[in-house]
């Protein structure tokens, strides 16, 4: 699935975006009972998020490998 | 908040007051869909409402009420809670740290053992690896942040190299001390990766 154009390419930026999406969609105060459960597009955003998380993990693994060269 | 601030879909943002608290809202004819642009816009409005004295209570994305009266009713119904959170958050923001252990082995079959005992030991190491990493990586961070953070939330990070996700509520007066403490831990424990972001509005602390 292609990522939206405003997804950053850098892993550090990816992490900031992961933190942003997690907070805005999954945390914060709930003021109405029927909440966010039915917000359209959430699943698609989380699919993109998994791609970003994978890129952060790759960065960590890559840096570790370089350290041991 | 600056007059003319715009939120989701470029809608003008305004406030609705009920008693001692006010909600920052924008008008939409239906519940907004989740998109990266909408998520960024939602957060930008919360950030725009933060100043040195006041940190708003961040609201979860996607809540849509019928009209201004419904918003006032929601504020009135939970007035004590909103007041309590506003007092707790005054002058504060949230920082996030994701801790990774690049040494954690990827999931996969345990290598062929020479003996049954070898197999059980390899299996035990795999099971205890993340827990051990958590103790070794999180405890020193919490020690370093003692007296700097108001509150911390630690959750396991369930990814291949993930150890923990830590959210910290920090007063502005301690922002520099916080950054220094994290850097010190990062330097003293180079085996782990501490990836830090923030300041954020205190989304993680509204449910405490």
Candidates A28, A56, A64; nearest CB to B203: A28
Which residues on B lie below 8 Å from A6 (Cβ)?
A: 36-37, 40
> Torsion over CA of B124, B129, B131 and B135, rounded to 10 degrees?
130
pLDDT tens-digit map of B66-119? 899 999 999 999 999 999 999 999 999 999 999 999 887 655 555 566 677 666
Tokens of B179: 């950054």
Closest of B48, B73, B46 to residue B57, by C-alpha: B46
Q: Does B58 touch chain A (CB under 8 A)?
A: yes
Give the sheet arrangement for strand B92-100, strand by strand. B149-156, B162-171, B92-100, B193-200
pLDDT tens-digit map of B133-171? 778 999 999 999 999 999 999 999 888 889 999 999 999
ipTM field: 0.83
Return d(Cα B208, Cα B182) in angstroms, integer: 23
CB contact under 8 A, A39 and B42: no
CB contact under 8 A, A30 and B195: no
| Longest alpha-carbon distance in chain A | 54
* pTM, full prediction: 0.83
Closest-approach residue (CA) in chain A for B38: A24
Provide the pLDDT for residue A7: 42
To the nearest whole angstrom, how far is the Cα of B93 from the nearest Cα of chain A? 13
Q: Which residue is listed with tokens 């954020």?
A: B200
> Torsion over CA of B38, B43, B44 and B46, rounded to 10 degrees?
130
More confident residue, A8 or B54: B54
Candidates B33, B162, B195; nearest CB to A39: B33
């Amino acid at each position: 699935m292609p990522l939206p154009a405003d997804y950053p390419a850098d892993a550090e930026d990816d992490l900031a975006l992961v933190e942003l999406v997690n907070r805005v969609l999954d945390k914060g105060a709930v003021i109405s009972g029927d909440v966010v459960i039915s917000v359209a597009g959430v699943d698609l955003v989380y699919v993109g998020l998994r791609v970003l998380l994978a890129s952060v993990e790759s960065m960590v693994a890559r840096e570790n490998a370089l350290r041991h060269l | 908040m600056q007059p003319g601030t715009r939120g989701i879909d470029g809608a003008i943002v305004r406030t609705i007051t009920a008693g001692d608290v006010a909600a920052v809202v924008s008008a939409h004819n239906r519940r907004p869909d989740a998109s990266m642009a909408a998520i960024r816009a939602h957060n930008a409005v919360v950030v725009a409402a933060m100043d040195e004295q006041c940190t708003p209570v961040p609201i979860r994305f996607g809540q849509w009420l019928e009209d201004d009266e419904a918003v006032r009713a929601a504020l009135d119904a939970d007035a004590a809670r909103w007041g309590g959170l506003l007092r707790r958050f005054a002058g504060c923001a949230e920082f996030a740290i994701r801790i990774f252990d690049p040494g954690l082995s990827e999931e996969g079959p345990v290598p062929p053992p020479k003996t049954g005992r070898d197999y059980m030991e390899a299996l035990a190491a795999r099971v205890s690896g993340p827990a051990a990493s958590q103790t070794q990586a999180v405890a020193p961070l919490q020690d370093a942040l003692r007296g700097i953070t108001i509150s911390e939330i630690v959750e396991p990070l369930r990814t291949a190299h993930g150890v923990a996700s830590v959210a910290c509520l920090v007063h502005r007066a301690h922002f520099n001390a916080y950054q220094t403490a994290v850097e010190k831990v990062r330097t003293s424990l180079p085996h782990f990766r501490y990836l830090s972001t923030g300041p954020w509005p205190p989304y993680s602390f509204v449910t405490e």
